[in-house]
Structure 1
Amino acid sequence: MTAHFQRETHAISKGLWPMAGIDEVGRGPLAGPVVAAAVILDPEAVPDGLDDSKKLSAARREELFAIIAQSALAIGVASATAVEIDTINIRQATLLAMRRAVAALAVQPLSVLVDGNDPPVLACSCESIIGGDAQIASIAAASIVAKVTRDAMMARLCQRYPAYGFSAHAGYGTPQHRAALHAHGPCPEHRYSFAPVKGVWRR
């Protein structure tokens, strides 16, 4: 079952439009940024098949990303770096990336729906929805944009730091990544506040 546009339609009827959906990718990895996206869909051009990015193949995510980029009224994408994550912690860095994503929208929303249970503080009304990326079209679109964007960022980091294989695991703590970390130590894109980096190496 794919995400629906019912909450957005309700927002339009209540005068709470534009409404943006927000989602993030990259809270758990040992390396790389956390990336957030905010998307305001066009009510007249909602893409078919929007869903939680984790449920979609990489090829389908790329297809939907292109459709969203062409059809959405506004898209804002932002990140918080590994250094920022180490400085203010992953929760605060995630909320910061979300606020930056909303600020990057060319059209500012009157209301926002966020995946999860920990919404950022914004100037407009903001509601968090657990599992929203599988239910709400705008959040699903944001999850796809954030995932495709972060994967591309990690592929570029893989070219800069090929020893770690970032393009294969996107910085998550896979056995391959942990073995490379043990063999080579961390690079500047690693999160030094995360185990197994924490207490072993210092930035």
Structure 2
Amino acid sequence: MGDAVRRPLRFFGTARSRGEAASRARQLIADVRLDPAFADRLPAQLSGGQRQRIGIARALAGEPDLLIADEITTALDVSVQADVLRLLDDLRRERELACLFISHDLAVVRGIADRVVVLRHGVVVEEGPTDAVFAAPGHPYTRALMAAALEPDPEAEGVVVSAEVWADAAEPGALWNDLGGGHRVRRWRSADG
């Protein structure tokens, strides 16, 4: 795994020699809360959470200002998800990183994000501060996503979502309603204007 972290160090020029790359790779591995000895392991010897941490170490090798975490907790069990999310939050604060966190897991988004952008078919339909969007989702698609999120109560009733919510969102004439406090919702102009 050390080589996987050394390569981006050399590529981005943040380590000039092999020795410096090896030393920095071990430090980055430690920075993501793994034993530096993981540099000597193979991918098959790591758990899913450990592989995610190595991926984060690789991303940090270029000393970025923005870290893009695309579905970083997918396929991880809940306790490992929590560890990875705490790690990301700590790294964000320590390194003064901006993080773009992409996820379909609304509970995770609510726990980590300062702002939320909801996309439907690649089109932004709502965006705003996390608390505002979760407290009062303004777009039908956002409401449908929240209604469809798994309920932790096994006795809870299922959710029925109307067909028009799932209809094609690629209608022309999109406009925005400003709900205040930076919370905006996409709306659609009717066919007759």
Same fold (TM over 0.5): no
**Quick check: which has more Rg, 1 or 2?**
2
Which fold has the larger relative contact order, with Cα–Cα distance below 8 Å and residues 6 or more apart in sequence?
Answer: 1
TM-score by length of 2: 0.30
TM-score by length of 1: 0.29
